[in-house]
Structure 1
């Protein structure tokens, strides 16, 4: 029985689990790295209008939000390996439907496919929490951040696989834009195999059995999550920080290509800017994980908000200076990384296993919905108030998180 695991065995299992999760994350990222870009191009082609160019990101985000709580419930009942593998399977199904959409030239099929592809993002989010399942008695910031960092490889290299994927697809006689999704299927299948065979024993089942929890308990609902948050305000603060930090990042990042294009910059300039932004999001995650364990999550959340504030000031005041926008977007990714890693670690450490399983899915769902909302309103703000106005508006969530932090001592 897992209750008989010694502390040393649990620590050894934790190290192995983090390695497996990191490998699975890296492999899965290769496929998803190009999905939204190709999906956006395909949406324009199938719908016949550029108005649907943002549909790929929006629908994928909504799909991720929709499956976050069900995947969390599945994880508690059957373990992380089943949940993560099933989420990856849904992403594979989505990629297959994207290929079907190219054959049938059907935009409705693509819409459904994008919703399924969102499950891949949900898996990525759940994997970071899986790194904090096993009760070793040690801080979880570093382990959690290593799994987040593993996304860097796929996120950076993935978009560069669009052209080779298209070439492969055409060589196989497939329709235009179908080929890149072959890489998505291969990457997600590899990720599924890593999770399925690597997560043994399953980290969440180990934690659940040690806590003496019944796997047959009813599925956690939104009401259950809100009850836990009311009982543990510090967990609510962590959930709020994750959601609002994501909203700030998505709202500014999603409109940067449009702003740079309007300023007369090339697609190469846009790609360079977004690449550095992605690097800021993921490359420094282990640093913030280490800092979280050493100095505490609250301090790193505040650090993240300060970096975000600096980012918005640089991008906003010098919106017409290309390298200022590049610097601002890089710092925006760094601020998101610090805040998300620290708040995720705080959420995992504040709650016990049973309570944690009720809130993590809710947190991921709210995070995605907040990002979708930020992306939806950012275009309106950009049109009415310019890129500088958008950066100013994005200060509101930053200020809100900072004010909420002043009450965090009362919630401990």
Structure 2
């Protein structure tokens, strides 16, 4: 996998790093478009077919449960066979799931709908796991920035997707399919295209190259450019893995709980699909668009400082969501933008901590296992959010989410304790 000519090895590695990022960026544009469908109309489809708000959180739960299983499988595939095979398989499975949602909605088949939403979750988890591919050949001081480049490219598709709700709805109706299924037609095509792009162009596989580099370094081979493979983070080993995992878990729980119920909350107070699409698209933009700046901040001022900033922004989002009038578009936009921004801070800082704490020998399977935990906890928050709102209010849910984000403070304090002397570990399920 490594070039035989070691003279220009550093230049070769830099070219491969840039080419890998370009491939990931292109695939993420399509992946983002597929991601947006479930966020925007998944809950509305179930509400329309079942006629009960108590079940509105089920789509988010099924999608995140499906993403949990696929995160594990994609992580294992990537560890043994490389990112190309793992990511391509995950995206194509997600595309098939989206096609199943379209068929189930058209036929009014609830069991098929639930199964298809579960399979569709493979695309959403793979969309997140693709961010790791750009970091495999990055230097430690570039890792958060590499994550951010992958994530910001998702914005183009993810922001455009919700704003195509009406267009795709009309297209679906022209085919004799319910309008709400329209965004999932887009998702099916987008996920499959993302998978094909990665399968065709992610060569040589960056993760397999990184594993070879680590082995060469371990064998003390003289390869220019391998000395930066090891992490220079003070939070390493098992401590680093648990800190990064906790940061991402908390931000995911708060974000999914509030985001899942926002379309239902808006519909109850007279907002139409186009207004829901606008709010969700701006929310998703805030999740991904600030990534370039966030990545640089995480690399410059530190992982734990940005984790703390995530908690503060999520608290502000929860308070704003609870306080603004339900008919205020501006207030809802501000709340959901803050929600997306807080998630962005937490995901990038947590991801960087995880990468710092692992080595290629265990990195992909550890990343997959962590994403399983994130998805499972997210599924619980998505399912419970509908029950909470049905028995209390959207404001109560939002305020509880904001308060939960404060748990990031003790996590940051713990991470700044005495650094672990353990070697980079792994997390298994």
User: Quick check: 2:165–2:274 contact (8 Å CA) kept in 1?
Assistant: no
1:245 aligns with 2:245: no
User: Quick check: 2:56–2:386 contact (8 Å CA) kept in 1?
Assistant: no
1:348 aligns with 2:350: no
1:257 aligns with 2:263: yes
Deviation at 1:394, TM superposition (A): 1.6
User: Quick check: 1:278–1:333 contact (8 Å CA) kept in 2?
Assistant: yes
Mean Cα deviation higher: 16-25 or 261-270: 261-270
Equivalent residue, structure 1, for 2:400 = 393
User: Quick check: 1:233–1:411 contact (8 Å CA) kept in 2?
Assistant: no
- Describe the SS at the equivalent of 1:118: helix
Equivalent residue, structure 2, for 1:362 = 369
Distance 1:289 1:274, change over 3 A: same
Residue-by-residue CA offset, 1:171-220 (whole Å, 9 max, x unaligned): 4x45335554443332223212210122111011111222239xxxxxxx
Task: Calculate the aligned-residue CA RMSD, in Å.
Answer: 2.7
| Residue 281 (structure 1) aligned to one of 287, 290, 294 | 287
| Residue 178 (structure 2) aligned to one of 173, 176, 179 | 176
Mean Cα deviation higher: 340-349 or 314-323: 314-323
- Describe the SS at the equivalent of 2:417: helix
Deviation at 1:161, TM superposition (A): 3.0
Equivalent residue, structure 2, for 1:371 = 378
| Residue 110 (structure 1) aligned to one of 110, 113, 138 | 113
Deviation at 1:65, TM superposition (A): 0.9
1:10-409 → structure 2 map (5 Å cutoff): 10-44=13-47, 46-47=49-50, 51-102=54-105, 104-134=107-137, 136-171=139-174, 173-177=175-179, 180-212=183-215, 232-263=238-269, 265=271, 267-318=273-324, 322=328, 323-409=330-416
Deviation at 1:13, TM superposition (A): 1.1
User: Quick check: 1:27–1:191 contact (8 Å CA) kept in 2?
Assistant: yes
Q: Provide TM-score, normalisation by structure 2.
A: 0.83
The aligned length equals 396
Distance 1:106 1:285, change over 3 A: same
Q: Which stretches in structure 1 are left out of the alignment for 5+ residues?
A: 214-228
- Describe the SS at the equivalent of 1:128: helix
Separation in 1, partners of 2:335, 2:188: 34
Q: Provide TM-score, normalisation by structure 1.
A: 0.87
Distance 1:159 1:232, change over 3 A: same
Separation in 2, partners of 1:326, 1:95: 27
User: Quick check: 1:36–1:56 contact (8 Å CA) kept in 2?
Assistant: no
Deviation at 1:79, TM superposition (A): 0.9
Q: Which stretches in structure 2 are left out of the alignment for 5+ residues?
A: 217-234, 420-429
User: Quick check: 1:10–1:136 contact (8 Å CA) kept in 2?
Assistant: no
Residue-by-residue CA offset, 1:2-55 (whole Å, 9 max, x unaligned): 175622221221111111111101012223322454444443455565554433
Separation in 1, partners of 2:127, 2:265: 29
